[in-house]
A and B are shown apart, each in its own frame.
Chain A
């Protein structure tokens, strides 16, 4: 074969194509996702879930929100454009728009309802993520984030029907009031959201928001355990979930 610069460039080009082809075959031949090693002293649960009772929430209370954002180094930019939030409240009519009607009691329409990631059993954000930076931990159902793998494409934000995810539009570190050294801060350009306090569960602690709530409006527990407090509440109360018709199987239940 005659060697020439042209020939060399063609071979280099083909080799580059080969580099791109390998991962495709790797993906198609993939053999399952890696397993987690759960912490021995952690809380044991097969399907974590939360029951929220908004009737117990005092109008101006922000205890759970502040506890969560302090624990997880969530920055405060002071503007809605860059805002990052893991747990917050919204008026009932916006959380459950399908339930609203013209004769609904004004107080109920405006009642603050706590919203957070629903840790869906069938999470669209996980389905759309091109790098598996967001994934569902099969062991206990928590939808988690790998901040070091996220490329910041924001496909998960488009995929989430609950608006639970926030993008770091700028460096968050200067805007964290007091850094908690036991939880990582994030870099600009990645997406984040509630993690059901998996880092606390691993140490045998309940989520920060649940502990912070003095009114016992938030209850956390294992749905697969019929003796758990969450199962008890679901047995004795009428509960609804946000947009269940979408088939995402959200795991945050609301007592109304």
Chain B
């Protein structure tokens, strides 16, 4: 089926070329980072995880959200999703690959990455994260490819793939739960030390992932002869609506506990996020942008008249995606380090090379997504 990615229009090849250029650009700066060290980024002694790990955390959510298509289709026999389930699975594949890439570019000694396998440590959440992420990648490649190959021959998918599909449902939940545990189990970081971390991650994942899928469906329809149809998109829109509401509700829960109890150690992180701490307010405009975008999205999504119209729905989805990218990305990761255990406020600003490497990884992910979607859409259009 791979050959289908080798024929395409001018637009297709220009897009691929554009992504390759971005990827090459990022790779060039990654070589610089390998040579100089992680000091080339904006990270410091006090803020030791930042843009890369923020992308990783956010993208694990996008990957996990494939379950929002797989579960209704395979467990509840919701037929309308049959057409686009493959899009969710392939989105998961490219997202997990990006996650792994972001972990790799964040390592100080990437050449030693296999030490995680050589000296497996069951007490380390990072070890478990590696297991669940690689497992999830494998599951989605096998499922997506097998189901699509069967579809190409206009056959039902083979029976052996069914149990694997069912396994992928709890597995999707596990990848984001384990990713939340990376943060939620650290005694000294009060910003992350909350049992709500995993539920929050899952809720925001099921909002941002399907929002991206809706946008991808619109883009695919614009450039190919494949139309996802109105029903599945509207169902996705409802999933995005509920998940965004739950997501905002969870953040409200955190704010209540923190500000009603008034424990200073817990309050100061949120103060840094929303009003700034001792005059340091690098993240404040970003967070308020996230709040405003979230508000716009909710207004457009909750109102059925705007949700049913494609234009406003697209705006709402883009707003959800951007809002959660800020909140769950830098907002969640960097704030955990501010202030530091010794009460120091070190602000974080990404550097040029760091942004270039980040864009490079995104370009790689989009390239993989483009190729996988090209194949999937070609098969779909052929068999229709």
Does B bind A? yes
The interface of chain A, by Cβ under 8 A from chain B, is: 17, 19-20, 23-24, 26-28, 30, 80-84, 90, 93-95, 97, 115, 124, 126-133, 149-155, 157-163, 166-171, 187-191, 243, 246-248
Say whether A129 contacts B43, CB under 8 Å.
no
Say whether B45 contacts A167, CB under 8 Å.
yes
Say whether A169 contacts B39, CB under 8 Å.
yes
Q: Complex formed: what's the CA distance from A162 to B189 in Å? A: 10
Tell me the nearest residue of chain A to B129, going by C-beta.
A130
> Other than the known A30-B120, A130-B127, what 11 A-B pairs have Cβ atoms closer than 8 Å?
A23-B120, A81-B44, A94-B344, A127-B123, A128-B123, A128-B125, A130-B115, A130-B130, A149-B112, A151-B110, A157-B48
Say whether B342 contacts A150, CB under 8 Å.
no
Count residues of chain B with CB under 8 A from any CB of chain A.
51
Q: Complex formed: what's the CA distance from A90 to B342 in Å? A: 8
Query: Which residue in A28, A127, A152 is a CB contact (below 8 Å) of B38?
Result: A152
Say whether B346 contacts A168, CB under 8 Å.
no
Say whether B45 contacts A131, CB under 8 Å.
no
- Across-interface contacts of B112 in A (CB, < 8 A): 131, 149-152
The list of the 7 closest CB pairs from A to B, nearest first, reads A152-B108, A161-B188, A189-B108, A169-B39, A27-B120, A188-B37, A163-B341
A168/B126 contact (C-beta < 8 A), A83-B45, A189-B109 known: no
Q: Does B121 contact A (CB under 8 A)?
A: yes
- Across-interface contacts of B342 in A (CB, < 8 A): 90, 94-95, 115, 162-163
Q: Does B106 contact A (CB under 8 A)?
A: yes
Q: Does B381 contact A (CB under 8 A)?
A: no
Say whether B186 contacts A129, CB under 8 Å.
no
Query: Which residue in B122, B185, B265, B340 is a CB contact (below 8 Å) of A163?
Result: B340
- Across-interface contacts of A187 in B (CB, < 8 A): 109
Query: Which residue in B109, B265, B344 is a CB contact (below 8 Å) of A151?
Result: B109
Q: Complex formed: what's the CA distance from A38 to B47 in Å? A: 37
Q: Complex formed: what's the CA distance from A127 to B123 in Å? A: 6
6 example contacts (A-B, Cβ-Cβ < 8 A) are as follows A126-B123, A128-B126, A153-B108, A159-B188, A167-B108, A189-B107
Proximity string of chain B (175-212) to chain A, C-beta cutoff 8 Å, 1 when within and 0 when not? 00000001101111100000000000000000000000
Say whether A154 contacts B48, CB under 8 Å.
yes
Q: Complex formed: what's the CA distance from A191 to B37 in Å? A: 13
Q: Does B234 contact A (CB under 8 A)?
A: no
Say whether A128 contacts B120, CB under 8 Å.
no
Most interface-central of A26, A30, A126, A157 (chain B CB within 10 A)? A157
Interface residues of B in 337-363 (CB under 8 A from A): 337, 340-344, 346
A151/B36 contact (C-beta < 8 A), A81-B45, A246-B188 known: no
Tell me the nearest residue of chain A to B103, going by C-beta.
A153
Interface residues of B in 94-117 (CB under 8 A from A): 103, 106-110, 112-113, 115-117
CB distance from B52 to the nearest CB of A (A): 11
- Across-interface contacts of A161 in B (CB, < 8 A): 186-189, 341
Q: Complex formed: what's the CA distance from A153 to B121 in Å? A: 14
Say whether A131 contacts B37, CB under 8 Å.
no
Say whether A155 contacts B124, CB under 8 Å.
yes
CB distance from A190 to the nearest CB of B (A): 6
CB distance from B116 to the nearest CB of A (A): 5
Query: Which residue in B38, B48, B121, B187 is a CB contact (below 8 Å) of A130?
Result: B121
- Across-interface contacts of A247 in B (CB, < 8 A): 187
Q: Complex formed: what's the CA distance from A236 to B346 in Å? A: 39
- Across-interface contacts of B109 in A (CB, < 8 A): 150-152, 187, 189-190
Say whether B38 contacts A246, CB under 8 Å.
no
- Across-interface contacts of A166 in B (CB, < 8 A): 45
Q: Does B299 contact A (CB under 8 A)?
A: no
